[in-house]
């Protein structure tokens, strides 16, 4: 089990209470899960993706992660349209464990940029983890 | 009021080796180590794994009427339970069964060991030592029996996987003699120096152990009992000796997925307060040869003979590794009618399907295929059905197609001949 000070959380990412991260990538946003989430879930063995072109509201379920521990919903931190899914995770879902900050799950085109700005900073997320 | 969460003698080792921990039976136990539950599961099927099981409890029953008390309370007929010819239990043998209440519901499942004439050891689940001891006390009446709850007084760990005997051979005295013959559900040695069995299996430093050829993974291996103060030392010895045989420490997550694929029940989940009947484990009941009646009377027997509201427990396996959460789960038939609930849903990482048939990563006849795992477990439904029947599991969000099975992970090694394993 990782101690909080062992977690790798990039400074320039935004974070959510559901332990997801959001990273700006041109005019799209990448969505992934945090180092804390992957450590808690254990081996991730399957990712259920949405279809490209699907649109979701903020906090709506857009997919599921299957780990040895549980089946977990993925919530879209910012409303928008799915423009790309990370197909590498279909064959190697374990990339979410080995490289949680690199292995994005989907890229979206946000419908409202201000939803991104209102997400948590690394510091705010760390404070939440420390409870 | 919740008791303080307990720790086993290996707790610090688990923590310093990076285990993710979780509460089980009020013990803080490892769920998996940094390699992950999948790697642990696969290692037990192909090599070996070591499980801390000292949270499990043991109760000894001693005295002239110990046998009679067990005959009354335990589901196996100890006069007729060993081998195909159903001979009586003897020293060096152990049997799996259940303790039932008057309504036929399961108090706990257990393995009963005959340690000596008039001395038996009952191994039950975490936190159940006191309950089983109290159950026996309540039934002993004026009989001459001493019941001792050994909860937290006995160390236990399980070495499971095809390399288990090779690993143990490095740390015990006279391994050739110990492993010369050693059948499934046999045991040798004793964790207490005072026992006449204790000279049969000793570690190289002289520590006596009870070595039992049993387990909860479906694979070849042993459960080991040792003095509680020697537990950590033995654990570290096995980890060290096991390194060259690819042994890994394993947590409760892989224990659960391995046992689900081996069609073994988890007490209080797959078997529980409902009548112990119409399930895959009827071998735990004292049936006669024609399975028409019991060979003895025991607590719960008459309830089992008079069940009104029948429910049927079946193993299942899916078609890929996706599973569903069992809370609020439903079982649906092919027309969408609700017919039951899901008891266990786990993923056996060592199996996959090719043309519908299930193969294990160790199956000798396995075709060219990529094995990613299959979901499996147990359902309880309100109708009698057959192996091969399609059903659907739903948790409200997800609906998975699965198949009723008589068995799940093929080519398991638990029953292999010892001479092929050393």
pLDDT tens sequence across A32-65: 999 999 999 999 999 999 999 999 999 999 999 9
- Verify that B121 and B231 share a domain, yes or no: yes
Hey, is the C-beta of B395 within 8 angstroms of any chain A C-beta?
yes
Domain assignment present for residue B421? The answer is no
Q: Which two tokens stand for residue B366?
A: 């396995």
Find out whether B63 and B279 touch, Cβ atoms under 8 Å.
no
Task: Tell me the nearest-neighbour CA distance from A101 into chain B, angstroms.
Answer: 18
Hey, is the C-beta of A60 within 8 angstroms of any chain B C-beta?
no
| B309, B335, B366 - which closes a domain | B309
- Which is nearest to B307 in space by CA: B40, B131, B32, B100? B100
Task: Tell me the nearest-neighbour CA distance from A33 into chain B, angstroms.
Answer: 18
Find out whether B204 and B227 touch, Cβ atoms under 8 Å.
no
A73 contacts in B (CB within 8 Å)? 397
Hey, is the C-beta of A1 within 8 angstroms of any chain B C-beta?
yes
Q: Give the chain B residue nearest A42 (alpha carbons).
A: B36
pLDDT of residue B2: 55
Hey, is the C-beta of A66 within 8 angstroms of any chain B C-beta?
yes
Gap between the Cα atoms of B156 and B238, Å rounded: 13
- Verify that B245 and B176 share a domain, yes or no: yes
**Is 0.85 exceeded by the ipTM?**
yes
Hey, is the C-beta of A7 within 8 angstroms of any chain B C-beta?
no
Gap between the Cα atoms of A116 and A32, Å rounded: 14
CA torsion A131→B5→B10→B16, rounded to 10°?
A: 10
pLDDT beneath 50, residues of chain A: none
Task: Tell me the nearest-neighbour CA distance from A42 into chain B, angstroms.
Answer: 6
- B88-98 mean pLDDT: 98
A48 contacts in B (CB within 8 Å)? 322
Contact B19 A39 (CB under 8 A): no
Residue with tokens 């279909």: A90
**Which CATH number covers residue B385?**
2.40.30.110
With a pLDDT cut of 70, the percent of chain B lying above it is 99
- Verify that B15 and B62 share a domain, yes or no: yes
Hey, is the C-beta of B372 within 8 angstroms of any chain A C-beta?
yes
pLDDT of residue A68: 85
Chain A with chain B: Cβ pairs closer than 8 A: 53
| B278, B293, B309 - which closes a domain | B309
- Verify that B319 and B302 share a domain, yes or no: no
A64 contacts in B (CB within 8 Å)? 397-398
Task: Tell me the nearest-neighbour CA distance from B204 into chain A, angstroms.
Answer: 34
State how beta strands B357-360 and B210-212 pair.
unpaired
Domain assignment present for residue B275? The answer is yes
* Total count of domains within chain B: 2
B320 contacts in A (CB within 8 Å)? 46
- Which is nearest to B38 in space by CA: A41, A42, A95, A100? A42
Write the residue in A1, A40, A70 that is nearest to B18 by C-beta: A1
Contact B253 A97 (CB under 8 A): no
Task: Tell me the nearest-neighbour CA distance from A70 into chain B, angstroms.
Answer: 7
**Which CATH number covers residue B180?**
3.30.1360.120
A36 contacts in B (CB within 8 Å)? none
Domain assignment present for residue B181? The answer is yes
B265 band by pLDDT with thresholds 50, 70 and 90: very high
- Verify that B305 and B324 share a domain, yes or no: no
- Verify that B148 and B242 share a domain, yes or no: yes
Determine which of B248, B252, B322 to mutate to test the interface with A (most A C-beta atoms within 10 Å): B322
Asked whether the whole model's pTM tops 0.90, one would answer yes
Mean pLDDT of chain B: 96
CATH of A17-116, one of 2.130.10.10, 2.40.50.100, 2.40.110.10, 3.40.50.300: 2.40.50.100
- Verify that B137 and B71 share a domain, yes or no: yes
- Which is nearest to B109 in space by CA: B91, B131, B89? B131
Gap between the Cα atoms of B224 and B54, Å rounded: 10
With a pLDDT cut of 90, the percent of chain B lying above it is 94
- Verify that B193 and B339 share a domain, yes or no: no
| B268, B294, B309 - which closes a domain | B309
B21 contacts in A (CB within 8 Å)? 1
Domain assignment present for residue B415? The answer is no
Task: Tell me the nearest-neighbour CA distance from B396 into chain A, angstroms.
Answer: 13
- Verify that B192 and B269 share a domain, yes or no: yes
- How deeply is B221 buried, as exposed, middle or buried, from its count of CB atoms within 10 A (0-12, 13-18, 19+)? buried
- Verify that B70 and B3 share a domain, yes or no: yes
Gap between the Cα atoms of B321 and B121, Å rounded: 39
Domain assignment present for residue B79? The answer is yes
pLDDT tens sequence across B121-168: 999 999 999 999 999 999 998 888 999 999 989 999 999 999 999 999
Domain assignment present for residue B75? The answer is yes
Q: Which domain, by its residues, includes B391? A: 311-409
- B265-293 mean pLDDT: 96
Question: Is pLDDT above 80 for B3?
Answer: no
Contact A45 B38 (CB under 8 A): yes
- Verify that B283 and B347 share a domain, yes or no: no
- B209-233 mean pLDDT: 98
- Verify that B279 and B337 share a domain, yes or no: no
Q: Domain residues of chain A, as ranges?
A: 17-116
Domain assignment present for residue B106? The answer is yes
- Which is nearest to B237 in space by CA: B223, B247, B251? B247
pLDDT tens sequence across B358-413: 999 999 999 999 999 999 999 999 999 999 999 999 998 889 999 999 999 999 99
B1 band by pLDDT with thresholds 50, 70 and 90: very low
Domain assignment present for residue B162? The answer is yes
Phi (first) and psi of residue B255, to 5 degrees? -60, -40
Residue with tokens 């239990």: B89
Gap between the Cα atoms of B289 and B86, Å rounded: 9
């Amino acid at each position: 089990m990782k101690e909080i000070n062992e977690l790798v959380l990039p400074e320039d990412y935004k974070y959510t209470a559901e332990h997801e991260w959001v990273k700006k990538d041109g005019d799209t946003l990448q969505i992934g899960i945090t180092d804390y989430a992957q450590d808690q879930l254990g081996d991730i063995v399957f990712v259920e993706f949405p279809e490209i072109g699907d649109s979701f509201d903020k906090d709506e379920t857009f997919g599921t992660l299957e780990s040895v521990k549980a089946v977990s919903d993925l919530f879209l931190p910012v409303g928008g349209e799915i423009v790309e899914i990370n197909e590498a995770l279909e064959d190697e879902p374990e990339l979410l464990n080995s490289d949680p900050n690199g292995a994005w799950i989907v890229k979206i085109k946000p419908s409202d940029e201000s939803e991104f700005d209102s997400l948590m900073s690394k510091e705010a997320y760390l404070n939440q983890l420390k409870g | 009021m919740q008791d303080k969460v307990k720790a086993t003698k290996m707790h610090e080792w688990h923590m310093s080796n990076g285990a993710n921990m979780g509460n089980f039976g009020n013990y803080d136990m490892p769920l998996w180590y940094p390699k992950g539950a999948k790697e642990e599961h696969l290692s037990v099927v192909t090599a070996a794994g070591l499980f801390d099981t000292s949270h499990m409890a043991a109760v000894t029953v001693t005295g002239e009427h110990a046998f009679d008390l067990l005959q009354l309370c335990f589901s196996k007929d100890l006069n007729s339970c060993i081998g195909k010819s159903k001979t009586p239990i003897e020293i060096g043998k152990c049997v799996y069964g259940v303790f039932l209440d008057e309504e036929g519901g399961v108090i706990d499942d257990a393995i009963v060991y005959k340690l000596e004439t008039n001395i038996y050891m009952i191994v039950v689940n975490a936190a159940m030592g006191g309950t089983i001891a109290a159950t026996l006390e309540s039934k002993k009446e004026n009989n001459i029996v001493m019941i001792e709850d050994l909860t937290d007084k006995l160390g236990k760990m399980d070495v499971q996987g095809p390399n288990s005997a090779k690993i143990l051979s490095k740390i015990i005295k006279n391994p050739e003699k110990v492993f010369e013959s050693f059948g499934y559900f046999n045991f040798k040695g004793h964790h207490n120096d005072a026992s006449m069995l204790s000279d049969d299996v000793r570690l190289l430093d002289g520590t006596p152990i009870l070595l039992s050829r049993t387990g909860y993974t479906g694979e070849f291996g042993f459960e080991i009992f040792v003095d509680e103060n020697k537990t950590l030392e033995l654990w570290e010895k096995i980890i060290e000796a096991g390194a060259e045989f690819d042994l890994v420490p394993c947590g409760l997550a892989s224990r659960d997925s391995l046992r689900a694929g081996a069609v073994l029940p988890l007490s209080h989940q797959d078997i529980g307060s409902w009548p112990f009947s119409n399930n895959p484990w009827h071998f735990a009941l004292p049936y006669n040869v024609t399975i028409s009646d019991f060979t003895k009377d025991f607590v719960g027997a008459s309830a089992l003979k008079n069940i009104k509201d029948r429910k049927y427990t079946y193993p299942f396996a899916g078609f890929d590794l996706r599973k569903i959460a069992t809370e609020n789960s439903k079982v649906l038939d092919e027309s969408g009618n609700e017919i039951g609930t899901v008891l266990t849903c786990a993923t056996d990482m060592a199996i996959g399907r090719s043309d519908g048939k299930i193969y294990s990563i160790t199956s000798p006849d396995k075709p060219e295929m990529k094995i990613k795992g299959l979901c499996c477990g147990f359902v309880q439904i309100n109708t009698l059905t057959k192996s091969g029947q399609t059903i659907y599991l739903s948790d409200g969000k997800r609906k998975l197609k699965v198949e009723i099975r008589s068995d799940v992970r093929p080519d398991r090694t638990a029953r292999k001949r010892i001479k092929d394993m050393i």
